[in-house]
């Protein structure tokens, strides 16, 4: 299978055109296309252009409302509520983030709940925007149930990632970025293995009877393995409480799948916390952050969380983004339909 090297601008335009051809509003298409290219630049191709055919399919089958109008409002001095209107999560989050940042600067801490939402892609993409604005950002998003509790066989929560983004010394700089799911790997990786006809590595998933499996189809019918056993399930449960219960989104057991055409809008949710360092440790904040990073950097072979994404970004902006020719052809065909 051949590849083509594409510029970020080329991929963003292609993604936007495919989404608008499938019925998305220009604002939603712009928001999603930017996030897709960011995922490609970060080296997270599973959440990049490969997702565009699914997004377009969901626009056409009704899982996503093509002309949704997200609404954001302050429900308290430091609480923002966003109704995604069963549209894409990205434009809904974009709508609320300026209000969240303003509230955090005014009150030290602020929270934002997003309900009636959808898959928000790379969660760290959103928390990074908070850190780039000088705030410590925490994000949570729930997903259709795919992880069973330890000892059980029926999934109760989704892969439910959380993300922490910490601002750096200079404006727009990210010092640390943690972005991890409650499962050993993101479910999109299982989907990617299925598309390629490849078996899964051992330890990724269980089948419907609770037995380990390397078959992607059996894994999708069964359960993802929680990272760290009960600890991973616990972090996913925390995310479920914040992004679904507190935000007013659908529980993972109620949400329709993010893949395929079965069911209506998933209705899942997100939750974000923004914290202003000036309201807490103030001038001591950055020296402490840099000291923490130095303690990792002085050890050979240690990778500081978020640095690989930063390095990928720098490299791929210069060298271009490699994309499978077959995927490019598929997305281009969506523009013409």
We report the CATH number of the domain holding residue 329 as: 1.10.1530.10
Quickly count: other Cβ atoms within 10 Å of residue 143's Cβ.
29
Q: Which helix (H) or strand (E) holds 273?
A: strand 268-275
Using the predicted structure, report yes or no on whether residue 337 has a pLDDT greater than 80.
no
Query: How many domains is the chain built from?
Result: 2
Options 12, 22, 47, 126, the catalytic residue: 47
Q: Is 41 in the same domain as 82?
A: no
How far is the CA of 112 from the CAs of 86, 246, 250, in angstroms? Answer: 17, 10, 16
216 domain-assigned: no
The answer on 159 and 21 residing in a single domain is no
CA distances to 135, 163, 284, 293 from 166, in Å: 7, 10, 14, 11
Does one domain contain both 30 and 46? yes
Q: Which of 22, 25, 46, 183 is catalytic?
A: 46
The share of the chain scoring above pLDDT 70, in percent, equals: 100
Q: Check residue 1 and give its pLDDT.
A: 63
Whether residue 251 is contained in a domain is answered as: yes
Give the pLDDT band (50/70/90) at residue 64.
very high
Residues 106 and 178 in one domain: yes
pLDDT in tens, 28-44: 999 999 999 999 999 99
β-pair type (223-224, 321-324): unpaired
What is the chain's mean pLDDT, rounded? 95
Q: Which of 12, 40, 128, 189 is catalytic?
A: 189
Residue 49 has pLDDT above 80, yes or no: yes
Is-catalytic flag, 46? Answer: yes
Does one domain contain both 271 and 318? no
- Tokens standing for residue 87: 């549209």
Question: What domain range is 319 assigned to?
Answer: 1-61+306-337
Residue 271 and residue 316 in one domain: no
**Measured CA angle at 241 (ends 277, 223), to 5 deg:** 120
Burial 152-177 (b: 16+ CB within 10 A, else e): eeebbbbbbbbbbbbbbeeeeebbbb
Reply yes or no on whether 189 is catalytic: yes
Gap between the Cα atoms of 64 and 160, Å rounded:
20
Domain assignment of residue 32, yes or no: yes
Report how far residue 322's alpha carbon sits from residue 306's, in angstroms, rounded to the nearest whole number.
21
């Amino acid at each position: 299978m051949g590849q083509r090297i594409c510029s970020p601008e080329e991929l963003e335009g292609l993604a936007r055109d495919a989404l608008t051809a499938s019925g998305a509003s220009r604002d939603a298409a712009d928001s999603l296309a930017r996030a897709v290219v960011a995922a490609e630049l970060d080296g997270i191709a599973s959440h990049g252009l490969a997702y565009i055919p699914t997004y377009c399919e969901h626009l056409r089958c009704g899982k996503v409302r093509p002309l949704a109008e997200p609404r954001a409002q302050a429900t308290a001095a430091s609480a923002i509520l966003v109704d995604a209107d069963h549209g894409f999560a990205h434009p809904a989050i974009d709508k609320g983030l300026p209000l969240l940042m303003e509230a955090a600067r005014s009150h030290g801490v602020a929270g934002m709940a997003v309900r009636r939402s959808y898959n928000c892609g790379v969660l760290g993409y959103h928390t990074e925007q908070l850190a780039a604005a000088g705030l410590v950002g925490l994000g949570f998003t729930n997903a259709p149930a795919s992880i069973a509790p330890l000892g059980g066989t029926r999934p109760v929560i989704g892969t439910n990632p959380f993300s922490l983004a910490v601002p750096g010394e200079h404006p727009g700089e990210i010092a640390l970025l943690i972005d991890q799911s409650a499962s050993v790997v993101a479910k999109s990786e299982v989907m990617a293995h299925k598309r390629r006809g490849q078996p899964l590595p051992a330890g990724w998933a269980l089948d419907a009877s609770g037995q380990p499996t390397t078959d992607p189809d059996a894994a999708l019918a069964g359960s993802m393995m929680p990272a760290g056993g009960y600890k991973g399930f616990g972090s996913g449960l925390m995310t479920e409480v914040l992004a679904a219960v507190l935000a007013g989104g659908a529980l993972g057991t109620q949400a329709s799948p993010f893949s395929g055409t079965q069911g209506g809008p998933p209705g899942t949710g997100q939750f974000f916390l923004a914290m202003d360092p000036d309201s807490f440790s103030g001038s001591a904040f950055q020296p402490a952050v840099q000291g923490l990073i130095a303690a990792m950097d002085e050890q050979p072979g240690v990778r500081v969380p978020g640095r690989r994404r930063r390095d990928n970004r720098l490299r791929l902006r210069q060298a271009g983004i490699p994309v499978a020719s077959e995927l490019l052809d598929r997305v281009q065909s969506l523009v013409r339909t």
